[in-house]
Amino acid sequence: MNYTKEDLLTCHEKIKPYIHRTPVLTSQALNEMSGAEIFFKCENFQRMGAFKMRGAAHAILNLSNEQKRNGVVTHSSGNFAQAVSLSAKMQGIKAYIVMPSNAPQVKKDAVRGYGGIITECEPNIDVRQATTDKISEETGASKLHPSNQVDVILGQGTAAMELLEDHPDLNVIMTPIGGGGLVAGTALAAHFFGKNCKTIGGEPFEADDAYRSLLSGKIESNETANTVADGLRTVLGNHNFPIIQQHVDEIIRVKEDEIIAAMRLIWERMKIIIEPSCAVPFAALLREKEKFAGQKIGIVLSGGNVDLGNLPF
Give the number of other CB atoms < 10 A from CB of residue 64. 8
Q: Which of 92, 217, 308, 310 binds its own copies (CB under 8 A)?
A: 308
DSSP 8-state code for residue 141: P
List the x/- string, 147-186, binding to its own copies by CB under 8 A.
----------------------------------------
Q: What angle do CA 236, 240, 112 make, to 5 degrees?
A: 70
- At closest approach, how far in Å is the CB of 228 from its own copies? 15
Task: Please give the distance of CA 235 from its chain centroid, rounded to a whole number.
Answer: 13
1 binds its own copies (CB under 8 A): no
Can you name the residues that pair with 198 across neighbouring β-strands? 172
Give the number of other CB atoms < 10 A from CB of residue 236. 28
Closer residue to its own copies in complex, CB, 122/268: 268
Report 179-238 residues binding its own copies (CB under 8 A). none
- At closest approach, how far in Å is the CB of 306 from its own copies? 9
Of the candidate spans 42-50, 127-135, 160-168, 184-192, the one that interacts with its own copies by CB under 8 A turns out to be 42-50
- Answer for the pair 86, 47: CB distance below 8 angstroms, yes or no: yes
- At closest approach, how far in Å is the CB of 224 from its own copies? 29
Task: Please give the distance of CA 269 from its chain centroid, rounded to a whole number.
Answer: 23
Q: What amino acid occupies position 77?
A: S
Closer residue to its own copies in complex, CB, 23/242: 23
Q: Which of 32, 64, 310, 313 binds its own copies (CB under 8 A)?
A: 313
Going from the C-alpha of 225 to that of each of 202, 212, 294, the distances in angstroms are 15, 14, 34
Closer residue to its own copies in complex, CB, 128/167: 167
List the x/- string, 251-290, binding to its own copies by CB under 8 A.
-------------x--xx-xxxxx----------------
- At closest approach, how far in Å is the CB of 269 from its own copies? 9
89 binds its own copies (CB under 8 A): no
Query: Coil, strand, or helix at residue 150?
Result: helix
Short-list 52, 62, 209, CA closest to 146: 52
* Rounded Cα distance, 224 and 149, in Å: 25
List the x/- string, 109-148, binding to its own copies by CB under 8 A.
----------------------------------------
Query: Coil, strand, or helix at residue 87?
Result: helix
- At closest approach, how far in Å is the CB of 147 from its own copies? 22
49 binds its own copies (CB under 8 A): yes
Total binding residues toward its own copies, as defined by CB under 8 A: 18
Q: Which of 8, 12, 39, 44 binds its own copies (CB under 8 A)?
A: 44
- At closest approach, how far in Å is the CB of 303 from its own copies? 9
- At closest approach, how far in Å is the CB of 266 from its own copies? 10
Q: How would you classify the pairing of strands 296-301 and 95-100?
A: unpaired
Termini Cα distance of the chain: 43
- Answer for the pair 30, 45: CB distance below 8 angstroms, yes or no: no
Short-list 103, 17, 96, CA closest to 53: 17
* Footprint of its own copies (CB under 8 A): 23, 25, 44-45, 49, 264, 267-268, 270-274, 304, 308-309, 311, 313
